[in-house]
Amino acid sequence: MSARLRFQGEKSTYMERPATIVDVAKRAGVAISSASSALNGQPGVSEATRTRVREAADELGFVPSLRGRSLSTKRAYAVGLIVSRDPDVFEEDPFFGGFLAGIETVLRARGYALVLQMSTTAEENSERYRRMALDRRVDGVFLNEITIDDPRIPLLHELQLPAVAITEAHVDWRPAVVHNNTAVIRELVDYLYGLGHRRFGHVSGPREFLHSCQRRDAWLDALGAHGITESQVTDGDFTYASGAAAASKLLSRSDRPTAVFCANDLTAAGFQARALDLGFSVPEDISIAGYDGTALSTYVRPALTTITTSPHSLGATAASLLLDRIDGRIVDKVELEQSRLVVRDSTVPAPLQR
């Protein structure tokens, strides 16, 4: 329990006041600067003094005020994450849970906190980055869901705000944690091809996102390696509804695909539901694969074949790189290959070609 000091609050009632370093110094009978050095493990303090200061601090339940420290060190001891999407979409996106947890693990260990903000439009998004930087609320930010010609990149340069990019594709920003998924998408294609599939489809994420493009390109490249140059690609937006719409579109064609790769699990779930509604059998008529490896993929029937990612280690690595960058350490990029193909019930050998 912390013994706190008393001071005269409103209405002349005595209230507790958190101990400051002045109190600690006084109690230990040393100068403020000595108390500070002792507490922060700085050299140039005798063991005797250090012990005495520590004891005094313990007795007073002293916890340094982040505010004083912030002003003095010009650090906020916080980093920011801005999620740029509709709350409803966010709600449905199970990626963030693990990602946040990964970030948190690292931040906590290093005494940092996470400031989370949300925005809907791109302009609003930029405004929030700008604001966070200008009022010095955070020491750095996560640069997530990067788009083509992302306006945040020049902005971050202008603001001189440390940031870590989280991406699946090449990006002109350092530090960066890049999640390399070409191998596993290749594995998915090999697997489907091996099952006899020859007509393929893809429901992509929004074109403006680098990771949408990366997943699509990796898919197309892997198909190309098998000599398949045709793949019906439909644009989606990572939502359930867009998966359903894509199913209506792709499955109405006479040369409809027998295997479809969706850019995320949510889209795959929507695709599958619509396919079933349209009277197709899944997986007998159409094989479906998702991406992300979220819990949702196990809830729907048939359970979805998918590619599991590791949002947790993505978040943890990103946070670690960001803090290193803030500390002035030189950091480049880290490649993560945590993906794994998980085959479940939504994919089977190709139906006989009709």
| Residues binding DNA (CB under 7 A) | 17-18, 20-22, 29-34, 36-37, 39-40, 42-46, 48-49, 62, 64-65, 67-69, 71-74
Indicate which single residue of 59, 115, 153, 313 sits in contact with its own copies (rule: CB under 8 A): 115
DSSP secondary-structure letter at 169?
S
Q: Which stretch binds its own copies (CB under 8 A): 39-47, 72-80, 282-290, 346-354?
A: 72-80
Which is closer to DNA, CB of 87 or CB of 111?
111
Which is closer to its own copies, CB of 114 or CB of 218?
114
CB 25 within 8 A of CB 34: yes
CA dist., res. 341 & res. 315, Å (int)? 21
Asked if 155 is part of the footprint of its own copies (rule: CB under 8 A), the reply reads no
Which is closer to its own copies, CB of 131 or CB of 207?
131
Least separation in angstroms between CB 189 and its own copies: 27
Counting Cα atoms < 13 Å in the Cβ hemisphere of 209 gives 20
CA dist., res. 165 & res. 325, Å (int)? 12
Least separation in angstroms between CB 239 and its own copies: 9
Asked if 2 is part of the footprint of its own copies (rule: CB under 8 A), the reply reads yes
CA dist., res. 112 & res. 317, Å (int)? 15
Torsion of CA 292, 293, 297, 298, to 10 degrees: -170
Helical (H) or strand (E) element with 191: helix 182-194
Distances 63 to 19, 28, 153, 321 between C-alpha atoms, Å: 7, 16, 37, 27
Residues forming contacts to its own copies in the complex (CB under 8 A) are: 2, 15-16, 18, 61, 63-68, 70-71, 74, 76, 78, 87-88, 90-94, 96-98, 100-101, 104, 108, 113-118, 131, 134-137, 160, 240, 269-270, 273, 276, 294-296, 299-301, 312
